[in-house]
Amino acid sequence: MKKYLSFILSIILALLLVSCDPANKPARGVEDEIYVFADSLEYEELRLALETVFQKEIFTPQPEKIFTLKPKPIIELEKFKNRKNIIIAAPLNSGSVTSEFIDAILDSSSKANILSDSSYFIQKYNIWAKNQLVTFMTGPSIQQLEFEILRNGDNLLYAYQKISDKRLYESLYNPTYEKKEIEGKLLQDYGWVIYVQADYKLAMNKHDDNFVWLRRSPGSDMERWIFVHWIDDASPAYLNVDSIRVIRNRITEKFYRTTWDEAYVHIAEDYFTTNEVNFKGKYAIFTQGLWELNIKGMGGPFVNYTFFDEKTNRIYMLDGSVYAPKYYKRNLIQQMDVTLQSFFTADELTESRRKELLKAAK
């Protein structure tokens, strides 16, 4: 048995060493799946911690997991090594096949750090595919590894969310399908720009209200809405959760109304979470929640970034909503999130990019 395991490990290691090619192909697979390579008994002991960290639920309004874990034995690594998100987990010196694999690829310094409780996670990008993240999780014991996964859960989840956003960003932003004339007009009139895909329309442009609404597939069963609202000569004091709720409800009550003008959108009470985040170097509050009509009957998820820009002395609110009652919406709301992150003020653009967009606006 030992000879068989050593043979398998040698094959896997050989593949590992020859596959680190910078010209490799893009990572494959479903965006919200993480392949976890671990021995079955060790995975069972780590399962709850891994699910707690990576399978957190968002509500759209039905509960959907941020990621879904796909456990696999290490001997199947070659078969799935080109997947987007991978975890390889085992304690050191447990005698399992995965433990032997991790032991074989770590140098003596790394092992010493792990055994002294100072290092548990090694993250590697682009090992077997472009835009891939592989995390090696190990520790001196299964109990200690479980504890460290939970203790470092936010950072572990963040790493997989950011690489996922990067992949989505590269797939969404195609200059061939970009409405530069709208982007240029927004830059010219208001001093900011956001990426506008070809199938979005400028549904509303209210100069006096500092409000712009971009809309995709109106009247369909998969609508997406983006609005940008800003407050001139503002104070950072607006950056609090209560103000964000009030401002968003005020804006949507005024502009997100039904065609017969009897109903409007507001924030639902069922699900509303906020986090302090870094938005392009600025302190921002990220909000994720549900919207609904005040008369009920329609609803969906939204994401929102609100931040203060010192150079323009403005509070900006960037908001993306989804209405897709027949579909799972986890990936759609991620697309909204990534699109909001394409927002730049004029000062943040290169000179060549400013000239390109302003020329398109004429």
pLDDT at residue 349, as a whole number: 96
pLDDT at residue 23, as a whole number: 46
Sketch out the chain's domains with CATH numbers.
2-171 (no CATH), 175-361 (3.40.1000.10)
DSSP strands (E only) in 156-196? 192-193
Separation between Cα atoms, residue 67 and residue 324, nearest integer Å: 20
Q: Are 321 and 292 in contact (CB under 8 A)?
A: no
pLDDT tens-digit readout, 208-237: 999 999 999 888 889 999 999 999 999 998
pLDDT at residue 230, as a whole number: 98
Cα 170 to Cα 183, 188, 330, 342: the distances in Å are 18, 26, 18, 11
Q: Are 139 and 113 in contact (CB under 8 A)?
A: no
Separation between Cα atoms, residue 341 and residue 82, nearest integer Å: 27
Residues 6 or more apart whose CB falls under 8 angstroms from that of 338 comprise 165, 168, 169, 172
Cα 333 to Cα 13, 214, 223: the distances in Å are 39, 15, 11
Q: What is the pairing mode between strands 314-323 and 299-309?
A: antiparallel
Separation between Cα atoms, residue 120 and residue 147, nearest integer Å: 11
Residues 6 or more apart whose CB falls under 8 angstroms from that of 293 comprise 258, 263, 264, 265, 266, 299
Residue type at 67 in one-letter notation: F
Tokens of 336: 């909204």
Predicted model pTM: 0.89
First to last CA, the chain: 73
pLDDT at residue 362, as a whole number: 72
Three-state DSSP class for residue 119: coil
Tokens of 339: 């699109």
pLDDT at residue 24, as a whole number: 75
Query: What are the residue ranges in the chain where pLDDT is below 50?
Result: 3, 7, 22-23
Separation between Cα atoms, residue 231 and residue 248, nearest integer Å: 12
